[in-house]
Chains A and B, each alone.
Chain A
Amino acid sequence: MTEIALPQHHEHEHPRGITRWLFTTNHKDIGTLYLLFAVSMLFIGGSFAMVVRAELFQPGLQFVNPHFFNQMTTMHALVMIFGAVMPAFVGLANWMIPMMIGAPDMALPRLNNWSFWLLPFAFTLLLSTLFMPGGAPAGGWTMYPPLVLQTGMAFPFLIFAVHLMGISSVMGAINVITTVFNMRAPGMSYTKLPLFVWTWVITAFLLIAAMPVLAGAVTMLLTDKYFGTSFFNAAGGGDPVMFQHVFWFFGHPEVYIMILPAFGIVSQIVPTFARKPLFGYTSMIYAVASIAFLSFIVWAHHMFTVGMPLAGELFFMYSTVLIAVPTGVKVFNWIATMWRGSMTFETPMLWALCFIILFSIGGFSGLMLGLAPADFQYQDTYFVVAHFHYVLVTGAVFAIIAGVYFWLPKWTGRMYDERLGKLHFWLSAISVNLLFFPQHFLGLAGMPRRIPDYAVQYAEWNMLSSIGAFIFGASQLIFVYVVIRAMSGHGEQATDQVWEGAHGLEWTLSSPPPYHSFNEPPKVP
């Protein structure tokens, strides 16, 4: 290879101004764009949640009518899943994967630019429906027919927005796989890949397998609505339950798409602050891979109540609870990593530890939900709402925040404000439990999910939950301030290694790293 006259230096002039961001093919710029987009969607989706919690603050309808309430729950979910959590993980992947594997950039930089810029268009389409006659989609993020087919003008906008998000995700996934397979520095064998890279590769395969299924499902909805087909219309010979099977065949891997990279982040952070190598590196990879595999054969546990034959319910119950085994292995490994370590508790570590505890609580309720006879009682109640917010907020979102604190000094070259970081953590950790823990009780006591108003015996817990929500929402403003401060060059200069216990190629680069991470392939120790 050395015989070919390759240009030795790739340093271009930094493009400046708006075109730098519009036309950028640089993994760091695109990573930044993804992360900024995700945080703005977090606040938009969060504001929808605030409307929901304000309405549920006390029994009776005070602020919005049930139609608008349903729009808020639906849009909250769509925006948070496709606009906040997924793009945030892609942003972290863009920033960190090339730096972790010793590559100059992502393998497909122009595709990378495109996969980001689809998202603002997708969400403009989706959010514009709020201003349309008839309002935004109000049939739930799961888009079950026949209800979703009653959506008015917003319907085609919903479908095309979902298509664009899906295309963006698949392109991002292709880029991650291509980069990791082809751009590793010499000596960076698969058994040396950092866990974050491993979890992302597996996630990317999930994305490629799952997103087209969603695309198929929503396309069938589109033709049912406008072209007279009857895929899901029983009167025309179709089957509304088939939609649910197809949807959840996408939807269950999707929930792991939103948690596997979080496992990766935590597996980077815990060893760093325990000053000890990750316990059970190989079993961690096997665990992630088995979770990914199992995620494709458990979809119908979302549908225990649709009326499946006994054998079907038994199969989906057994396969579902089986996921507890590899998930348990992961948690045990993290704790073994801490065991006899030399721990310090900087902000990223606090978020990571909190992730382990609260994600486990979400896992426990997941195990309970997996037992079909009990699920007949839990399904579609607030118990489910509590469960998936524990895994998605105190799981996925907490891990993303942990990752941002962890890597922010590397990205910006500035240490964030540790005091504010800790304040942000403690306020969030306390309020998020006030927000979601009582919802377990509400669900068990019989409160269905997605209702705009409720019987008076649910009043106390709902009020507490809403108070928690308002505090949690407001606390995230601290986060924005902390990040903006570091981005604008305030704060102590960060060292290259940043954290005493940090190991890996990314920490050998300067803080902030050069525009092209590695012009020369680095030596892998």
Chain B
Amino acid sequence: MGTKLPGKTRQSAAALLCALAAGTASAGYALNLTEGVTSISREAYRLHMLALWVCVVIAIVVFGAMAWSIYHHRKSRGAVAASFHDNTRVEIVWTILPFLVLVGLAIPATTALIAMHDTSNADLTIKITGQQWSWRYDYLKEDIGFVSNLDEKSAAAAKLGSGVDPRSVEHYLLNVDKPLVVPVGKKVRFLLNASDVIHSWWLPDLGFKKDAIPGFVNEIWARIEKPGIYRGQCTELCGVGHGFMPIVLIAMNEPDYQAWLTAQREAVAKAKAGVDRVWTKEELLAKGEEVYAKTCAACHLPGGEGIPGAFKALKGSTIVKGPVADHIDRVMNGKPGTAMPSFAAQLDDADIAAVITHERNAWGNNMGDLVQPAQIKAARK
């Protein structure tokens, strides 16, 4: 799923099989594995094609023999059954031959596996945290970090009965608000973990996926060879938002990457400044609505009505209509043993303040009170 996203795949079955047989990726990624843009992904691709061809050859031999006997050794053609039922020599041969084929496959697989496990001498390390249902990226040593959510257009179109044709949304379900950015040609080490349930981080173009597991740190690495935008998705069932957790990575040349880093640092500083001032009600409500749609609406639904028994309604909820401190606590710390996660690490002070203000004033809750970012900052201590 690289920069060239697949075109139409309405080809006849024959054309599809030809494209597959040619082993090219040009017929669109909707058919075959991508070759990707790292040494690892190419090894995986080569192994995949080798195994595929081995299977095709075996299939031709086996099904060919089967077809031959089905055609020639049928009663209606007057075939008389032979009575042999054993042949030790033949049986030994067809035990040993497949074994040798397997050895032939295992050798390249072993070399590839060894290369994949070598995460040493990385130029830069990014910590990836899977959370229900977004990815958090922290650039260790760079002091920047952000959460990457499904982009708004996809999110709006992906609602049940949204009336929006997904075909009208660019990169539907494969786009995010803030993509991960890495430099080209550098060995990037990714550390994977999760804050709630198990997720799995997969960029086909990088060559493999790995699970993000709470309490564990997993490692993978990639040296991306070509600048471009690479897309993938979460691949471990992680709850209702599982299908809505895309991964987008932009590989940039070094100067562009440095410029991006600088811009990010400035944005972090600006956000910090924003937290320290008093916000107006309008600002909080506008921001809150945005954060709610992105972060909360997957479970509690856009109208705050929830799904009875599974996800609590926020409309008329005792927490939302109760003391502000309890509301802040629930949003920041979640509710253990339920799908309600802790948002303390996922959202910044302004986001949390705004979304709480929104919830307390939307859908007829009409509490009328405001929560300022400063209150959240205080609650973090």
Contact = CB atoms under 8 A, between A and B. Distances in A.
A67 B240 contact: yes
B198 A377 contact: no
A451 B150 CA distance: 14
A241 B194 CA distance: 13
Contacts of B218: 306-307
Given A66-B242, A318-B106, A343-B73, A446 B307 contact: no
Interface string A415-432: 000000000000000000
A132 interface: yes
Contacts of A361: 59
A219 interface: no
A124 interface: no
Most buried by B among A341, A368, A373: A373
A356 B34 CA distance: 31
A181 interface: no
Interface in B217-251: 218-219, 232-244
Contact of A450 (B73, B211, B242, B308): B242
A71 B216 CA distance: 28
A5 B210 CA distance: 69
Given A67-B240, A376-B44, A451-B243, A281 B30 contact: no
Interface stretch (A111-119, A140-148, A162-170): A140-148
A338 B70 contact: yes
B237 A283 contact: no
B260 to A, nearest CB: 26
Interface residues of B, number: 114
B265 interface: no
Nearest to A340: B82
B81 A441 contact: no
A448 B233 contact: yes
Nearest to A329: B95
A133 B110 contact: no
A376 B207 contact: yes
Interface string B243-276: 1100000000000000000000000000000000
B91 A280 contact: yes
B93 to A, nearest CB: 10
A342 B240 contact: no
Given A307-B218, A444-B32, A360 B59 contact: yes
B10 A344 contact: no
Interface string B298-337: 1000000001111100000000000000000000000001
A135 interface: yes
A321 B105 contact: yes
A385 to B, nearest CB: 12
A459 B1 CA distance: 15
Contacts of A67: 240, 307, 310-311
B202 interface: yes
B44 A374 contact: yes
B107 to A, nearest CB: 11
B44 A446 contact: no
Interface in A241-284: 241, 274-283
A234 B62 CA distance: 49
Nearest to A241: B213
A455 B51 contact: no
Most buried by A among B1, B196, B237: B237
A234 B214 contact: yes
A373 B209 CA distance: 10
Given A310-B114, A377-B33, A343 B69 contact: yes
Contacts of A310: 113-114, 117
Contacts of A454: 173, 243
Contacts of B106: 317-318, 321, 371
Contact of B214 (A64, A146, A283, A318): A146
Interface string A322-366: 101100110111011111111111000000010011001100110
A-side binding surface: helix, strand, loop or mixed? helix
B46 to A, nearest CB: 9
A452 B44 contact: no
Interface in B45-94: 47-48, 51-52, 54-55, 58-59, 62-63, 65-66, 69-70, 73-76, 79-87, 90-91, 94
A424 B94 CA distance: 35
A372 B214 CA distance: 23
Interface stretch (A10-18, A149-157, A210-218, A468-476): A149-157
Contacts of B161: 61-62
B164 interface: yes
Given A67-B307, A453-B158, A307 B113 contact: no
Contacts of A321: 102, 105-106
B238 A147 contact: yes
B28 A457 contact: yes
A8 B95 CA distance: 50
B79 A325 contact: no
B172 interface: yes
Contacts of A178: none
A4 interface: no
A188 interface: no
A381 interface: yes
Contacts of A335: 62, 65-66, 69
B32 A445 contact: yes
Contacts of B52: 368
B119 to A, nearest CB: 11
Interface in A38-77: 59-67, 70
A343 B70 contact: yes
B204 A377 contact: yes
Contacts of B172: 59, 455-456
A133 B135 CA distance: 30
A238 B200 CA distance: 20
A194 B69 CA distance: 24
A388 interface: no
A460 B105 CA distance: 33
A368 B51 contact: yes
A240 B236 CA distance: 14
Contacts of A461: 9, 30
Given A147-B237, A446-B204, A342 B74 contact: yes
Contacts of A373: 40, 43-44, 47, 109, 112-113, 116, 208
B307 to A, nearest CB: 6
Contact of A306 (B1, B48, B211): B211
A65 B307 contact: yes
B120 interface: no
B175 to A, nearest CB: 9
A340 B62 contact: no
Contacts of A279: 84-87
A61 B160 contact: yes
Contact of A66 (B40, B74, B213, B243): B243
Given A59-B172, A70-B239, A275-B75, A377 B51 contact: no
A340 B69 contact: yes
Contacts of B242: 66, 70, 448, 450-451
Given A134-B309, A341-B82, A454-B173, 6 more contacts: A144-B237, A147-B198, A280-B91, A307-B211, A453-B173, A455-B173
10 contacts: A60-B158, A307-B216, A313-B113, A328-B98, A331-B62, A336-B87, A340-B84, A356-B66, A445-B30, A445-B31
Interface of B: 1, 5-6, 9-10, 16, 28-34, 40-41, 43-44, 47-48, 51-52, 54-55, 58-59, 62-63, 65-66, 69-70, 73-76, 79-87, 90-91, 94-95, 98-99, 102, 105-106, 109-110, 112-114, 116-117, 157-162, 164-167, 171-174, 192, 196-198, 200, 202, 204, 207-211, 213-216, 218-219, 232-244, 298, 307-311, 337-339
* 4 interchain residue pairs of minimum CB distance: A234-B215, A133-B309, A134-B309, A376-B208
